[in-house]
Amino acid sequence: MEGTPANEQIASPRRAPSQQRSRERVERMLAAASALIAEQGSDAMRMGEVAERAGVSIGSLYQFFPDKRAIVWALAERYTVESQACISAALQDVTDAEGLGQAFSELVDIYYRLFLAEPVMRDIWSGTQADKALRRLELADSRANAEFLGAVLKRLRPGVDPVSLETTAFLVWQMGEAAMRLAISVGRQEGDRLVAAYKRMALRELLAE
């Protein structure tokens, strides 16, 4: 089965607002949905609750979000854009092994803290596993992030087969996402140990000569 290219545009199930007033209304809707998901999870969230908390009519909500899935998708897209910007900024100026080790370790710590602190992100992340289209969005995001990491490996190891380095970067990134899911599903102390162990294993591979 072919993978999802990192630059593939996956169609969103929601309507994008075109006017400033509409964009502000959509922001209120997403903020309301985010708060409700944090309180009770996306499964329990109801469209009527989102509209009421956002201060909009249910018709206005459905105008931009036909169902809960569209809301979750919009929040996932937002986190995807933010995460890619963060990762790109952290890795773009890395020029040596020491810099890679530090930048990668800091990124792992940032994401771990973020998912511990943001129940919305945890809920969205777990929710993608039950939605085929959202899994494709997540995979495209993972490939894009792995490309940032792969670009660093190519700079540091120009004599190594670039396809091999791309494969390493993608696998390390996918293993990191799996490790993060595991870490936030167990107690904090065990989660800390799992994240630390993942960093050690990943850095051994990334910094291998």
pLDDT tens for the chain, 209 residues long, are: 344 444 444 445 455 555 677 788 889 999 999 899 888 888 888 999 999 999 999 999 998 899 888 888 888 888 888 888 889 999 999 999 999 999 999 999 998 988 887 777 777 776 666 677 777 878 888 899 999 999 999 999 999 999 999 999 999 999 998 898 889 889 999 999 999 999 999 999 998 86
The DSSP call for residue 58 is H
Tell whether domain 20-65 is in CATH 1.10.10.60: yes
* Distance, CA of 133 to CA of 34 (rounded, Å): 20
Per-domain boundaries in the chain? 20-65, 73-206
Q: Helices 97-117 and 119-127 meet at what angle, rounded to 10? A: 100
Task: Give the phi and the psi of residue 81 in degrees, each rounded to 5.
Answer: -60, -45
Give, as one character, the DSSP assignment of residue 5: P
CA distance 29 to 33: 6
3-state secondary structure (DSSP) of residue 68: helix
The residues, ordered by sequence, that sit 6+ positions from 11 with a Cβ below 8 Å of its Cβ are none
Instruction: Provide CB contacts within 8 A for 41, sequence distance 6+.
Output: 123
Write down the pLDDT at residue 170.
95
